Amino acid sequence: MLSRFHTISRVLFILCLLSTLVLAACGDDGKKDEKTETKTIGVLNISPGMELVLAGFKDVMASEFGYIEGENVTYIYGGPSGSVEGLDPLIDDLKTHDLDLVLAFGTPPAQKAEAAFADTSIPVIFGPVNDPIAAGLVETIAGHPENVTGIQNGASVAKGLDWLVQTMPGVEQVYVPHNPLDSSSVASLASIQEVAPGLGIELLIGEVTTSDELTEALANIPEDADAVLVLRVAMFDARTADIVSAATEKDLPAMVSRSDVLEFTGAIIGFGPDFYNIGQRMARLADQVFKGTEASALPIETAEEFLSVNLAAARAIGVEIPDAILRQANNIVGQTAESE
């Protein structure tokens, strides 16, 4: 009788053990599937300068959220379009893929992406965009009905003009290339036009709508210009080095509207966002979307802004950066042992 009891007990124990192992295996498989479910992200970009946004995005997606390219996330990216018109075939290609998310870098790509995927369930995350409301991307910054969210730039272009004047008090006339067909250019120009009179600055505006027109304009920078300011525009972003080079040839200081390009463009001063940092923040928005939060429920965030100065570029044209500016700078490039 006792032996029979032991036999039954052993059978029940084995059955319970097997059940536990099966349940555990199912649980592990479910968890594994959740982690290894591949996400497909479409990328829309117009400017090589925006590659830093994608780098920041990929790095945080991998390091913080475990989305490893080639393992559980695939990026569909045809590279920078180089023009607004060049975005259309890239969008056509994205539509052939089963996308979970679209990233759009800059205002024109964001506008194109929002229009192309408005009738789908595919969320769009943009960044950086100067004014998402004026660009028609969202109706409000928070609680918007559109299936988009992202990072907007702060009002740093006007502050950048102020930094330019503080850095070089003798500047009175500033040459500003401007694309009247680009909403970002229109918004950026309006912001500096508002503050320029109070700073004692006359803006010399050169209207350009194509890359060829920009090339011609740079060859004919007005002789009475004291400095050049680069607005935050996708087309100009792609040609920042060319704009700065044209200014340097005339011994003119150049001010750019972002903080992370001084070292490889030769600009003297920059104030604005760091594109790598914007990509990092876009990744955190993407993770929330992948975890089930609707893009429409995520408020538009504002990019952080930083002040950078380039001592080497300043020395090259005989400009001395005031100590007061150096003390406030977030980043100083071109330092030498004598200047440290």
Q: Distance of CA 188 to CAs 194, 199, 220, 231, Å?
A: 10, 17, 22, 6
Architecture of the domain delimited by 156-272+306-333: 3-Layer(aba) Sandwich (3.40)
Instruction: Confirm if 146 and 139 have CB atoms less than 8 A apart.
Output: yes
The SS3 of residue 63 is: helix
At 204, is the pLDDT very low, low, confident or very high (cuts 50, 70, 90)? very high
DSSP-derived letter for residue 180 is: T
pLDDT single digits (tens) 30-42: 333 444 589 999 9
**Cα gap 114→161, rounded to integer Å:** 32
Of 91-100, 145-154, 281-290, least confident by mean pLDDT is 145-154
At 335, is the pLDDT very low, low, confident or very high (cuts 50, 70, 90)? confident
pLDDT given at position 36: 53
pLDDT given at position 35: 44
pLDDT given at position 62: 97
Could you tell me which of 84, 72, 96 has the C-alpha nearest to residue 44?
84
Q: Residue ranges of the domains in the chain? A: 37-153+274-302, 156-272+306-333
**What H or E segment, with its residue span, contains residue 168?**
none
Q: Is pLDDT above 50 for 28?
A: no
pLDDT given at position 336: 60
Q: Distance of CA 273 to CAs 61, 133, 152, 281, Å?
A: 20, 19, 10, 12
Q: Is pLDDT above 60 for 117?
A: yes
At 176, is the pLDDT very low, low, confident or very high (cuts 50, 70, 90)? very high
At 13, is the pLDDT very low, low, confident or very high (cuts 50, 70, 90)? very low
pLDDT given at position 10: 52
At 100, is the pLDDT very low, low, confident or very high (cuts 50, 70, 90)? very high
Percentage of residues in the chain having pLDDT higher than 90: 71
Please state the rounded mean pLDDT for residues 220-224.
96
Please state the rounded mean pLDDT for residues 236-242.
88
Range list of H helices, 140-252: 156-167, 183-195, 211-218, 234-238, 240-249
**Cα gap 49→21, rounded to integer Å:** 53
Percentage of residues in the chain having pLDDT higher than 70: 88
Could you tell me which of 241, 236, 258 has the C-alpha nearest to residue 306?
258
Whole-number average pLDDT of the chain: 87
Angle between helices 107-116 and 87-94 (to 10 degrees): 40
Neighbouring residues of 99: CB distance < 8 A, sequence distance ≥ 6: 40, 41, 42, 76, 122
pLDDT given at position 235: 83
Instruction: Confirm if 75 and 43 have CB atoms less than 8 A apart.
Output: yes
Same fold, 37-153+274-302 and 156-272+306-333: yes
**Cα gap 306→294, rounded to integer Å:** 30
At 122, is the pLDDT very low, low, confident or very high (cuts 50, 70, 90)? very high
Q: Is pLDDT above 60 for 308?
A: yes
Architecture of the domain delimited by 37-153+274-302: 3-Layer(aba) Sandwich (3.40)
Could you tell me which of 73, 140, 68, 78 has the C-alpha nearest to residue 105?
78
DSSP-derived letter for residue 94 is: H
Between 277 and 1, name the one with better pLDDT: 277
Could you tell me which of 206, 226, 230 has the C-alpha nearest to residue 156?
230
| Token pair belonging to 191 | 């912001």
pLDDT given at position 20: 43
